[in-house]
Amino acid sequence: MKNTKLVLGLAVIAMGFASCKDEKAEQADKTVDTYVMYVDSVGNVAAEDAKGNWQGIEATYELKSGEAEAAIANMKDNAAAQERLDASRAKYEALKAKYDAEKAEQEIVAVPVNAKQQLRNALFGQGKIGDDMNFSWVNAANIHSVYQQFIHTAEDNKDSYSREDWDEIKLMYEALDSRKNTVEKEGLSSDDNRKIAALKFKFAPMLKVNRMGAKSGEMKRAKE
């Protein structure tokens, strides 16, 4: 009789342990479910709303991610749960990368282009010449058209340029001429060379006169 009671007691205890383990596994699954559902909900938020509240979203994500990781660590057979967690993590990282890229793009657009860069963009094309003064993109095939755009732009806008503008134009013109010396050794055709020489012959005196005029005008205004 005593043996029977002992066996029954052990059985009850075993059932209790099993029940406890089942509850823990079930709770762990629910924690992972919560994490997965949260990531899904982030993906359903309107892009503008998500970007505007990304700091809060990320804080909540880190909390739920940590809870899910801890829950999985306590699971005996966690392969399926780990797979779900990894899939949701990849989904979240893709969303984060998307919003980060959009934010960076907006910040670039929001930064006003300074007057010097605006002038360079007009003379050479958008973003062609930056602070590094790199003219390596100018080659034998395009240098004639580069001179054409530069000189025609300067001629068309000569009345609106300040002394600082003309100083910048002179600096860019000399840098372009320096690049031409290199390009001549890299196969510049004699025909393009003649066309460039004609453009330079017309532009050089205009540059000198307008630059001096802008400087004189500035000095006169300063005295007044």
7-16, 30-39, 72-81, 163-172, range with greatest mean pLDDT: 163-172
Instruction: Please indicate whether residue 65 or residue 113 has the higher confidence score (pLDDT).
Output: 65
Write down the residue that tokens 């880190």 correspond to. 62
Residue 15 has pLDDT above 60, yes or no: no
Instruction: Please indicate whether residue 165 or residue 83 has the higher confidence score (pLDDT).
Output: 165
Contact 165, 119 (CB under 8 A): yes
Contact 35, 64 (CB under 8 A): yes
Assess whether 26 and 46 both reside in one domain: yes
**Domain end marker among 69, 94, 110:** 110
Max CA separation in the chain (angstroms)? 121
Q: How many whole angstroms separate alpha carbon 141 and alpha carbon 143?
A: 6
Assess whether 101 and 120 both reside in one domain: no
pLDDT of res. 63: 87
Assess whether 97 and 119 both reside in one domain: no
Question: Which residue range is the domain that position 149 belongs to?
Answer: 115-223
Lowest mean pLDDT among 54-58, 140-144, 212-216: 212-216
User: Using one digit for the tens of pLDDT, what is the confidence trace for 176-211?
Assistant: 999 999 999 988 999 999 999 999 999 999 999 999
Residue 12 has pLDDT above 50, yes or no: no
Write out the E strands in 120-161.
none
The total domain count for the chain is 2
pLDDT of res. 62: 87
**Is residue 224 classed as helix, strand or coil in its secondary structure?**
coil
Q: How many whole angstroms separate alpha carbon 95 and alpha carbon 92?
A: 5
pTM of the model: 0.50
Assess whether 219 and 121 both reside in one domain: yes
Assess whether 98 and 144 both reside in one domain: no
